[in-house]
């Protein structure tokens, strides 16, 4: 699973500006819109959903707070932007 998470990070995610030594490091999805990439994103979503339902299981995907808040349908504040894009904040 560790190898799968590494490959997902390298191929489907990109660093946020904070990854340049500014504190928080996180990744966000790349904008890949071809059909095969969209199918793979759907599979990654299923894998994340499966892992979230497993007791004592941890996927090593360093996704940003905005991504997780969208999944959980939580309110996103301007303060959350500080953890992802410090320059835009």
pLDDT per residue over 22-44, tens digit each?
A: 555 577 777 777 888 888 888 88
How far is Cα 54 from Cα 29, in angstroms, rounded to an integer? 23
The verdict on residue 89 lying in a domain is no
The verdict on residue 88 lying in a domain is no
Q: Domain tally for the chain? A: 1
Structural domain that includes position 71? 2-82
Q: Name, in order, each residue with C-beta under 8 angstroms of 51's C-beta and a sequence gap of 6 or more.
A: 57, 58, 59
Give the pLDDT mean for 48-59.
80
Contact 64, 25 (CB under 8 A): no
pTM: 0.57
Query: How many beta carbons lie within 10 A of that of residue 31, not counting itself?
Result: 7
The verdict on residue 87 lying in a domain is no
């Amino acid at each position: 699973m560790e190898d799968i998470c590494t490959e997902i990070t390298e191929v489907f995610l990109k660093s946020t500006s904070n990854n340049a030594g500014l504190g928080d490091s996180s990744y966000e999805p790349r904008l890949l819109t071809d059909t095969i990439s969209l199918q793979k994103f759907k599979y990654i979503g299923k894998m994340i959903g499966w892992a979230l339902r497993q007791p004592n299981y941890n996927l090593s995907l360093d996704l940003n707070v905005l991504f997780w808040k969208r999944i959980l349908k939580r309110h996103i504040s301007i303060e959350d932007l500080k953890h992802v894009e410090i320059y835009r904040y």
